[in-house]
Structure 1
Amino acid sequence: MRVLIVDDHPVVVSGCKALLSAEPDMEVFDACDAESGLAAYGAQAPDVAVIDINLPGVSGFELATRVLAQDPAARIVMFSMNDDPAFAARAIKVGAKGYVAKNDDPSLFVAALRKVWAGGTYLPGDLAQKMAFAQFDKKLAQLSQRELEIVRLLAAGETMGAIADKLGVSYKTIANNCTALKTKLGARTSMDLMRAALEAQKS
């Protein structure tokens, strides 16, 4: 596997090279900024490109976009000091196949490269969960006060009939509200809606 690392921190690059030197099937190249990174990608044709988000001048996100414009099949892993799910979401949006935080377990870095090289995608489990919750929180923010109250009561185990009685409305009104909630929360069935309500209670 040919790996290109684009990062402007020599210590980080040296650390990555030292880590990957233990992998007999890996050959590593490096570049320190977007311009040299793009040139190295064209010259070396790596199997996987590891791109730091915070490059000098042009960001890693922009470099990833340029690499993909040059090679739509490029397999890119974004590399960052930040484990904020918003950064990971943006990385996936620009076309990266993986995201690794620099403070993660080094063994995860190797696992990420191998998984992306094999055609898969890679996100650390906790980061993937944070991204899912971030998306769910956005959906919750779109609910009305009445809908939020229905979600809370569903999570407490109340039936639609009991919820109708508590809120002083008809069963049909609650049923209609639940149908709307399924759409807003991406729930296909009543059981999915219950799970979403329970997750809302945790958040």
Structure 2
Amino acid sequence: MTVAVVDDHPVVVEGVRTWIAQDPRARVRIVSAGADLNAVRRGAGQSADVILLDLELNGELMLGALTELVDSGRRVIVFSQHVDEETVRAALDAGASAYVTKQEGPQFLVDAIVETAQDRPAVPPAMAGAMLSDQRPHLAPQERAALLLWFQSRSKAAVAERMGIRETTVKQYIDRARVKYGQVGRHAASKAALLARAIEDGLIRADDIEDR
């Protein structure tokens, strides 16, 4: 599995390289590293399985860039010095697959990369703390839109055509929604279970399901 690291501190990038190299699973490879977001948009990191994104680059919070990357179908883990619950929730609301603080160490970071690359839940400590008081998953707008169209009895191919994206991206959005429900301990393996969860949480209204 491959990862693109976006961080403006070379010492952090080298630390991540070392942590990954020392991991006994030895299945993670960095394909791009540095502070240039264009490297993951159009450069060497554009095909990476996971993007590891520093939430603050050159003094600016990257929530907008995070949303853009998620909306384009990318799996993004936020790796940040910010530890407050408000920031963690904001990143999850923007669609981050996981949130790891820079104080949490190599095990949590590498675990998050491995699990996220395989569309499995990853809940590092800071993320778990932020989620304790909120048992609803944090779905990105595109994930919610894909779910609604899919619940309207559309095929994934039809959803892709409606949204102007690839069918594989639609599947990623739906799979990620399932993963995020798993992260809060509310698994939804079937389409019916996922629909019930979404209605229960007010993410989708029952009358929204009627095909238009």
> What is the TM-score normalised by the length of structure 1?
0.58
Q: How does 1:109-148 map to 2 (within 5 A)?
A: 109-125=109-125, 127-133=127-133, 135=134
Conserved? CA contact 1:38–1:66, under 8 Å:
no
Partner residue, 2:9: 9
> What is the TM-score normalised by the length of structure 2?
0.56
Partner residue, 1:27: 29
The one-letter code of the counterpart of 1:81 is Q
The one-letter code of the counterpart of 1:66 is E
Residues 1:118 and 1:89: Cα distance change in structure 2 (over 3 Å):
same
Offset at residue 25 of structure 1 (A)? 1.7
Give the 3-state SS of the residue equivalent to 2:82 in structure 1: coil
Offset at residue 58 of structure 1 (A)? 5.5
Give the 3-state SS of the residue equivalent to 1:21 in structure 2: helix
Unaligned runs of 5+ in 2: 136-199, 201-212
Partner residue, 2:43: 40
Conserved? CA contact 1:83–1:127, under 8 Å:
no
Residues 1:8 and 1:92: Cα distance change in structure 2 (over 3 Å):
same
Conserved? CA contact 2:39–2:46, under 8 Å:
no
Larger Cα Rg: Structure 1 or Structure 2?
1
Distance in 1 (CA, whole Å) between partners of 2:80 and 2:124 is 13
Partner residue, 1:89: 89
1:113-161 Cα shifts (integer Å, max 9, x gaps): 111112023232454234423x59xxxxxxxxxxxxxxxxxxxxxxxxx
Distance in 1 (CA, whole Å) between partners of 2:92 and 2:130 is 14
The one-letter code of the counterpart of 1:52 is D
Residues 1:122 and 1:86: Cα distance change in structure 2 (over 3 Å):
farther
The one-letter code of the counterpart of 2:87 is F
Conserved? CA contact 1:78–1:98, under 8 Å:
yes
Partner residue, 1:62: 64
1:48-68 Cα shifts (integer Å, max 9, x gaps): 100000012763222212212
Distance in 1 (CA, whole Å) between partners of 2:39 and 2:64 is 13
Distance in 2 (CA, whole Å) between partners of 1:59 and 1:35 is 16
1:164-195 Cα shifts (integer Å, max 9, x gaps): xxxxxxxxxxxxxxxxxxxxxx9xxxxxxxxx
Distance in 2 (CA, whole Å) between partners of 1:126 and 1:94 is 17
Unaligned runs of 5+ in 1: 137-185, 187-203
Distance in 2 (CA, whole Å) between partners of 1:39 and 1:22 is 29
Distance in 1 (CA, whole Å) between partners of 2:126 and 2:46 is 33
Distance in 2 (CA, whole Å) between partners of 1:38 and 1:61 is 16
Distance in 1 (CA, whole Å) between partners of 2:77 and 2:55 is 10
Residues 1:76 and 1:127: Cα distance change in structure 2 (over 3 Å):
closer
Partner residue, 1:77: 77
Residues 1:103 and 1:57: Cα distance change in structure 2 (over 3 Å):
closer
Identity of aligned residues (%): 26
Offset at residue 37 of structure 1 (A)? 4.1
Give the 3-state SS of the residue equivalent to 2:33 in structure 1: strand
